[in-house]
Chains A and B, each alone.
Chain A
Amino acid sequence: MSNVDKTLSTQAATTEAPTQERYFQRFTSAQRWMHVILFTTFLGLAATGLPLRFSESPWAQMMASAVGGRGAILFFHKLCAVIMTLAFLNHVKDIFVSAFIRRQKGVFWGPTSMVANFKDAKDLVMHMRWFVGLGKRPQFERYAYWEKFDYWAVFWGMVIIGFSGYAMWFAPFFSTFLPGWALNAALVIHSEEGLLAILFIFMIHFVNTHLRPGSFPMDMVVFTGVESEHEYKTKRQLEYDRMVKEGKLESRLGTAPQKWEINVSRVVGFTAIAIGLTLLGLTISAYFY
């Protein structure tokens, strides 16, 4: 991307901005529901898992008694886990269908794939150089490297935490093919990986995706599915340019989100962020007393 192009596209954006702004589809309805199901069950798992990990903290006992004691807290943990597992399996099925049944291209490679490539490594380095003023900000395709990391962190997190969780839930069954010490390891893995997921989502994902300048206070695209042309171009210029070049830009045109859609998204989104930050605060407090 040359400087001239960038200036041109920026000018285009500024001249178009005052008139009716165009909105483009980024996420399908299914993807947005997937996000809602994931963060709801994730918050549920975090809220019922953290009291177990920090079971001797006063807040842990309060939270457990709020839902009816240790029996209830484990029930809700398992309930959320089952729903999340179903969502995960559905996602794996979708990938399988797209890649092997419909034989769609670009699932495992190419600009729209979630699989990391050499450009992502370059982007990471260049992005960090830009942070400290050593270069230009890199331009991104459909999914930037930190978004891919988020995706894989969640993907592998679900596999690892899920597997270790079910191993403990159905311990006698799992021990028929796993050694006894694996049950000890299951709790260590489940607990540590769970804590990593919680800290990562509440400290990194919240800030990178929702709270950073440019998206603050919340990136609505994951709720409404659409983003303005200006956002599209500044955040994912390479994809935008590719769409223009391939003549597909118009096909991605969406409708501007309704007022109620934005309001519902805000209520839901801010509630989730507030719960997350509260849990983060409690988690950190557990290390101090």
Chain B
Amino acid sequence: MKSTRIKLLIIPGLVLLLAATVGRAQSASDCLACHSDASLQDGSGKSVSVDEKKFHDSIHSGMKCVECHASIKGYPHPDKVEKVKCEGCHSDEASQLATSIHSSSKDHPCISCHGNAHEIVTKTDARSAVYALNIPKTCGQCHGNGGMAEKHGLKSVAPRYVDSIHGYALSKEGLLVAASCSSCHGSHHILSQKDPTSPTSKDNIPQTCGKCHAGTVANYMGGVHGKAIANGHNDAPVCSDCHTAHDIVEPTAAAFRSQSTPICGSCHKDKFTTYRDTFHSQLGSLGGYVETARCWDCHGAHEVLPTNDPRSPVNPKNLITTCGRCHAGANASFVKYQPHANAYDWKASPALYYIRLFMNILLFSVLSFFILHTILWLIRARLQQIQSSKKGGSHE
């Protein structure tokens, strides 16, 4: 502290000399004469030092300090200077931010994402906090475990994103085109998914994902789900309903395959119940290394078509091909198998209904009779045994 005080006395003298020669137009170097001192602090103990090298490397290096610190008119400047207003130059970004979910400039000043104002570099520079590969870390400061967002009741999403296929591509493989936070949410104009104009609102999700996955979304829009969404049926699934938003895994991964059927089943309840009665489901529920048919293995995933559409993989004409993908030797009789048979529906499958009924009656009658038979026998045999032992005789 003491050395700072001494400097505070010495340095103004030097600056006065410089000011006398250069006049009132202060250049960056004038200010840096004092502010390049790494230990320089203001009255409240806050650092007011500027790293000269980093500033010169920054995107703002060509600017004079007073262009941002506009309240400083000369030297000596007042102890308290006005806050820098970035919107003076960045008016578009500022107006976008003002209507976004991050509108409170107190909670979300520009520097909360862009970092130290004197060190800002262009977003294509790997040192930038908003460089594609650094975005998850930057957003994760608030949207990670224990971050500010949790205090507002928002889930910690950054760690889940990092484990997702997008996060893997971005952080592990360094793939610049991999989706990061801003690819879907935007940057300055981030809106709640409840806002219908948000790129993450349900209606807009196909369009948002389609920025990268154009072919898949085109397929999706041709299928029943895409058409329903386009016609305003908001209960139809969009990309994130099946793939999730932040936990997206590879669709061929066992984890995704296992989680996918209940997702389809959350709407197609009757189909899910009947599917669960089949061997496909029974074996598939146990987890492991052999795959059994999931909904989309037969029905298709993105371009789901009605059964009567000749292009549908479950159209009767295509069943031999579709079933044959797993079942080598599938034939016309084989594909008559009902993957959604209901053994309790007499009208739809009478043969199955009666076979199931017969088996149930057989099970019930054989077991009831023999359970009764066994219980009575046990009691009688035990009584007999007690009697015999009282008499000192033999068993039974």
Contacts and interface: CB of A to CB of B under 8 A. Distances in A.
A69 B290 contact: yes
A131 B288 contact: no
A178 B281 CA distance: 23
B355 A175 contact: no
The CB with the most chain A CB atoms within 10 A, among B283, B286, B292, B355, is that of: B286
B367 A200 contact: yes
A126 interface: no
B336 A73 contact: no
Interface in A208-245: 208, 212-214, 230, 234-235
Nearest to A63: B286
Interface of B is mostly: helix
B395 A131 contact: no
Given A130-B380, A181-B349, A193-B359, A61 B285 contact: yes
Given A64-B288, A195-B363, A53 B282 contact: yes
B102 interface: no
Nearest to B356: A188
Given A192-B360, A199-B367, A214 B394 contact: no
A172 B334 contact: yes
Q: How large is the interface on B (under 10, 10 to 19, 20 to 34, 35 or more residues)?
A: 35 or more
Given A172-B331, A234-B395, A71 B288 contact: yes
Contacts of A130: 380
Contacts of A189: 355, 359
A183 B329 CA distance: 15
B395 A213 contact: yes
A3 to B, nearest CB: 14
A132 to B, nearest CB: 7
B346 interface: no
Interface in A56-109: 56, 60-61, 64-65, 68-74
B278 to A, nearest CB: 7
B286 A51 contact: yes
Given A212-B378, A213-B395, A60 B329 contact: no
Contacts of A55: 281-286
Interface string B253-293: 00000000000000000000000111101111111111010
Interface centre among A127, A175, A178 (most CB of B within 10 A): A175
A213 B352 contact: no
A56 B285 contact: yes
B336 A181 contact: yes
A199 B366 CA distance: 10
A68 to B, nearest CB: 7
B381 A214 contact: yes
Contacts of B277: 187
A213 B385 CA distance: 7
A13 interface: yes
B371 interface: yes
Contacts of B371: 203-204
A74 B363 CA distance: 25
Nearest to B277: A187
Contact of B374 (A74, A193, A208): A208
Contacts of B51: none
A69 B334 contact: no
Nearest to B385: A213
B286 A234 contact: no
Contacts of A212: 374, 377-378, 381
A168 interface: yes
Contact of A203 (B352, B367, B393): B367
A282 B362 CA distance: 22
7 contacts: A55-B283, A55-B284, A146-B373, A175-B334, A184-B341, A184-B349, A199-B363
> Considering the complex of A and B, which 4 residue pairs feature the smallest CB-CB distances, nearest first?
A69-B288, A180-B336, A172-B329, A71-B290
Given A56-B276, A188-B343, 10 more contacts: A14-B394, A131-B377, A131-B379, A132-B380, A180-B337, A192-B360, A203-B367, A204-B373, A213-B378, A214-B385
